[in-house]
Amino acid sequence: NDGTILIDLKAFYNIDEIKIKIYLYDKGTATKKYTLNFLDSNSLDSGIYAQIKGNYQFMSNYYSEYSFTHEVKAENLVNPKWEPWKESLEKVTSSLIREVKIEKEYRVREKMFKYYNIEKIYLDTYENDVLAPYIKDETTKKVFYRFRTRDKIEVKNEIKIYWGDKFNIYDYVKSTNPKNSIKIKEEVDTKKIGIQPISILIDKLKINLTLKVLPKEVNVPNMIGWKKEEVQSWAFQNRVNPKFQIIESIEPKDTVIDVNKKKLNTGETFEVLLSKGNFTIPNIYEWSKEEINTWAKKQGINVKYKIVESLEEKNKVLSYDKKVLNKNDVLEVIISSGKIKIPKFEKYSDLEKWLQNKNVKTQLLYKYLEKVPKGKIINIFPSEIRKNDTLTVTVSLGENNLLKNTSKKSTEKETLKESNIQNEKNNNSQHLLIKLSLFFGVIIIGGYIYGRKI
C-alpha cells in the first residue's frame, strides 16, 4: 500500500542483464498496481532511466499462486542519457536517438568604417547574434549542425512489411553505436501473411518484436484477349496466383475470356477463364431460331441462315455445316421453310412415289374426261403443302365407254316425243351411273368419283 522498496545493485549489472520476478498475494478484489523504476544511483531523487508498470486484477489464497517476471526492454527506457553536443558541417538528421539544431554564425564588421580603408575590417570571431553598431556579412556565414545522441536504441515494436518484400532488420532498428551487431534469432517468412513473433539480439540485449506481413492491394488490368503467358508474367511480378480454367470459346486457344476479380491482395488467388480453342458447336437441332441467335451473340459467333423447303415446322434446324469453329468463321444453319411446293406430275404413280415418307394425307378424285388419258393427273390442290395437310388429287378415268354404249342402245328404242327425249336420257343416265357405282365400288356424283378403284 503505497510502499517503496529500494534495491541497490552497486552498478554491478548491465540493465539488459536484470530480470525481476515478483510474487503477489492478496485475497482482496482491488486492482494490484506497482511500478519498477531503474535509477542511476541509490538516491530516489535521481533521474529515472527505465520504468515498468504492473497492473493486475486477481484474488490469491496462496503465496506462490501469482508471479510476474520483468526485464527491461527498449520501450521501457524513459530517460536515456545524452552524450555531449557535437558539431558537424555535414548534414545530420534527427531521430529518437538524436537531437539536431541548425546553427548559423556570421562574420561582423563595424557599421561605420574609415573612408580611406579600401578593405572591410572584420572581427576575428564569428558571432550568432550581431548587435549594433556592427553588421553581419551574409556572404561569409557559416552553417553547421549541432547534435547530441543518447544511449537509447530506436526500435519499432511492430514491424510492418508487405507480402514478398525484402526484409532488412536495419531498416527498423537504429543504434547510436555503429558497432552494434544486430541478429535475428528466427527465420522470417515474408510470404506468410499474418503476425510472426521474432526476437533480435543487439550485442547481449534481447528484444522481442512482432513482424506483421500485410497483403498489398493490386489493381487487376483488363486481361480479356491476353495470352496465358502474359497473365503468368503479370501475376509473378505482382505476387498473386492465377488459377486457370479452360472453357469452350470461339477465341483462339489459351486466350483470356474473363477474370473474376478487379482488385487483389498480394498472395491472393484469382480465377482466369481461358479459351479451349477449336470451339465445338453444341447440338442445336432442337433449338429455336431465337435461341440460336441468343447463344451466337453471347459466344461472338456469326450465323448465316439458309431456308430450304421442308415439311418440318417452320425455322426448325435441319443441319449446319460445321462441328468446330475458329474465330471469324461463319456458321451456316439450314432451317425449314415449313412447306413444300408441289412439283408438276402427269401420272399419279409418280406423285405417289414423291409423297412417300412425307406424312401427307391424300384424297383422290376420279373424273371421266374424253380428252385426258386414263391415270393422268388433272389437278392437284393446294399447290403448296405443310405437315399433316390433306392433298386433293383429281385423276382422269379417260373416256366413259359404258355410258357411250348405253346411249347407243337407248337410241334404238321406240322414238319418243321430242319434248320427252331429253328427260328419258337423263333418267337412263342417272340409272346407269348408280349401277356403275355398285360395279366399281365407288361413288359417282355428277361425273366425279371419290375413292379408289377396286
Within a 10 A sphere around the Cβ of 200, how many other Cβ atoms? 21
Least confident of 256-265, 395-404, 407-416, 421-430: 421-430
Angstrom distance (rounded) from CA 195 to CA 348 = 94
Closest CA to 55 of 88, 27, 22: 22
Mean pLDDT of 302-327: 89
Mean pLDDT of 409-433: 46
In a domain, 291, yes or no: yes
- Own/partner contacts of 252-259, CB < 8 Å, gap of 24 or more, are 252/277, 252/326, 252/327, 253/277, 253/278, 254/227, 254/228, 254/229, 255/225, 255/226, 255/227, 256/223, 256/224, 256/225, 256/226, 256/227, 256/228, 256/231, 257/224, 258/224, 259/220, 259/223, 259/224
End-to-end alpha carbon distance in the chain: 134
Stronger pLDDT, 276 or 65, i.e. the higher one: 276
pLDDT band of 111, cuts 50, 70, 90: low
* Helix (H), strand (E) at residue 440: helix 418-440
pLDDT surpasses 90 at 305: yes
Stronger pLDDT, 87 or 131, i.e. the higher one: 87
State the cell numbers at 165: 518484400
In a domain, 1, yes or no: no
Number of compact structural domains in the chain: 6
In a domain, 343, yes or no: no
Instruction: Let me know: does 289 contact 305? Beta carbons within 8 Å.
Output: yes
Mean pLDDT of 366-371: 86
pLDDT surpasses 60 at 437: no
Whether 260 and 285 map to the same domain: the answer is no
Mean pLDDT of 408-414: 52
In a domain, 443, yes or no: yes
Give the range of the structural domain holding residue 30, as residue numbers without chain letter: 15-76
pLDDT at res. 226: 94
CATH number at 183 reads 2.60.40.10
pLDDT surpasses 60 at 410: no
CATH number at 378 reads 3.30.10.20
Stronger pLDDT, 23 or 157, i.e. the higher one: 23
- Going across the sheet that includes 86-88, the strands are 86-88, 134-149, 98-110, 122-127
pLDDT at res. 452: 40
Whether 181 and 271 map to the same domain: the answer is no
Stronger pLDDT, 321 or 151, i.e. the higher one: 321
Whether 104 and 159 map to the same domain: the answer is no
Whether 178 and 271 map to the same domain: the answer is no
Mean pLDDT highest for which of 32-41, 103-112, 139-148, 329-338? 329-338
Q: Judging by DSSP bridges, how do beta strands 241-247 and 269-275 pair with one another?
A: parallel
Instruction: Let me know: does 176 contact 151? Beta carbons within 8 Å.
Output: yes
Stronger pLDDT, 314 or 28, i.e. the higher one: 314
Last residue of a domain, one of 100, 123, 149: 149
State the cell numbers at 422: 331429253
Stronger pLDDT, 279 or 401, i.e. the higher one: 279
pLDDT at res. 168: 78
Instruction: Let me know: does 309 contact 384? Beta carbons within 8 Å.
Output: no
Whether 440 and 354 map to the same domain: the answer is yes
Whether 144 and 64 map to the same domain: the answer is no
State the cell numbers at 398: 379417260
Stronger pLDDT, 112 or 238, i.e. the higher one: 238
pLDDT at res. 436: 38
Give the dihedral sign, CA 383/386/392/395: positive
The mean pLDDT of the chain is: 77
pLDDT at res. 113: 55
Whether 164 and 202 map to the same domain: the answer is yes
pLDDT at res. 239: 83
Closest CA to 147 of 103, 177, 81, 104: 103
In a domain, 341, yes or no: no
In a domain, 342, yes or no: no
pLDDT at res. 418: 46
Last residue of a domain, one of 58, 76, 94: 76
* Helix (H), strand (E) at residue 453: none
Whether 311 and 324 map to the same domain: the answer is yes
Summarize pLDDT for 284-296 with one digit per residue, the tens: 999 999 999 998 8
Last residue of a domain, one of 187, 214, 241: 214
Whether 352 and 442 map to the same domain: the answer is yes
pLDDT surpasses 90 at 441: no
pLDDT at res. 81: 72
pLDDT at res. 421: 45
pLDDT over 70, % of the chain = 75
Whether 222 and 210 map to the same domain: the answer is no
Summarize pLDDT for 61-94 with one digit per residue, the tens: 766 678 889 888 766 777 767 788 998 888 888 7
In a domain, 2, yes or no: no
Q: Which residues contact 324 (CB under 8 A, 6 or more apart)?
A: 278, 279, 280, 281
Summarize pLDDT for 167-222 with one digit per residue, the tens: 777 777 765 555 556 777 777 888 788 888 888 777 666 777 888 888 888 899 99
pLDDT at res. 419: 41
Stated pTM of the model: 0.38
